Amino acid sequence: VRAASGGGAVTLPPVGLERLSLNQITISQWTLPELADGCVRRGISTIAPWRERVAEVGVTQARRLLDDAGLRVSSLCRGGFFCAASERERRRALEDNRRAVDEAAELGTDCLVLVCGPPPGRDLEAARSMIADGIEQLVPHAAAAGVRLAIEPLHPMAIGERSAIVSLEEATELALHFDAAHVGVIVDVYHVFWDHRLAERIAAARDRILGFHVSDWLRHTTDTLQGRGMMGDGIIDLRSIRGWVEEAGYDGPIEVEVIGRPLWELDGDDLLALVCERFVACV
């Protein structure tokens, strides 16, 4: 008997640091200006900021400091949270999503990450329809701004607090309702690595992959929100997954998004050095 398989292990050469995009939450101890300085010191060319950290300096000022530092933005995190019990709240969520699109455009990225939001009640199918409707209503504004919407399936343990979209299969099926020019998916290893048909799911997302995120799953995970591990400290076969993502045609930035509370106690430069070392060694 062989276990069901979605694809073989892949032997790939290491990836260079020019593919690395530093997701801001990885080094939460830094403000956006500190992050920009740190990246320049380390020769990192690309970052992925979070909206609330951009808001600390203002979008216009953020764009100016990133330009001055010569930094590109791979994506903005995040829009989404489409579900709500009332029509009024859903309309408010849509307005906030339009602002997120505008901020992405102003920051010079064509990719807005969508964390789609948890179900308001027990009806998962209704929640998923709200999400589909929300994206449908957001697409025209995003298309006009030249911003693509990237549905990020979250780990199934995030269903109660973050997202009713919890598998890559589901995210891809949802994305395929829309034009590839406007809607795609994020493949974040942390959220999807457990899937026994992952290679197949990634192949099915061909031409829809708008981002590839890396971190690691710690064997003993106790914090469901901020318990991610540094690449190499967990059990994810990062290189095989990168191989499948590249076979599916994705050759863009690889975002390091490690949401790991203990790491935020470290010195930012030391943490960034570790990120770079592990990126080359493990991704």
Residue ranges binding a copy of itself (CB under 8 A):
1-5, 8-9, 118-119, 121-125, 128-129, 131-133, 135-136, 155-157, 159-161, 165-167, 169-170, 173-174, 177, 193-197, 217-222, 224, 234-237
Q: In whole angstroms, how close is the CB of 133 to a copy of itself at the nearest point?
A: 6
Q: In whole angstroms, how close is the CB of 120 to a copy of itself at the nearest point?
A: 9
* Rounded distance between C-alpha atoms, residue 230 and residue 237, angstroms: 13
Q: From its phi and psi, is residue 207 left (phi > 0), alpha (psi between -120 and 50) or beta? A: left
Nearer to a copy of itself, 88 or 219 (CB): 219
Residue 30 C-alpha from the chain's centroid: 19
Nearer to a copy of itself, 88 or 122 (CB): 122
Helix axes 87-106, 124-145, angle to 10 degrees: 40
Q: In whole angstroms, how close is the CB of 127 to a copy of itself at the nearest point?
A: 8
Nearer to a copy of itself, 56 or 161 (CB): 161
* Rounded distance between C-alpha atoms, residue 76 and residue 112, angstroms: 5
Q: In whole angstroms, how close is the CB of 41 to a copy of itself at the nearest point?
A: 32
Nearer to a copy of itself, 175 or 271 (CB): 175
Q: Please state the φ and ψ torsions of residue 102, each to the nearest 5 degrees.
A: -65, -40
Q: In whole angstroms, how close is the CB of 186 to a copy of itself at the nearest point?
A: 17
Q: In whole angstroms, how close is the CB of 18 to a copy of itself at the nearest point?
A: 26
Nearer to a copy of itself, 108 or 160 (CB): 160
Nearer to a copy of itself, 146 or 156 (CB): 156
Three-state secondary structure call for residue 113 = strand
Find, among 106, 109, 37, 108, the residue nearest to 68 by Cα: 37
In sequence order, what DSSP letters do the residues of 186-220 get, joined into one string? EEEHHHHTT-TTHHHHHHHTTTTEEEEEE-B--SS
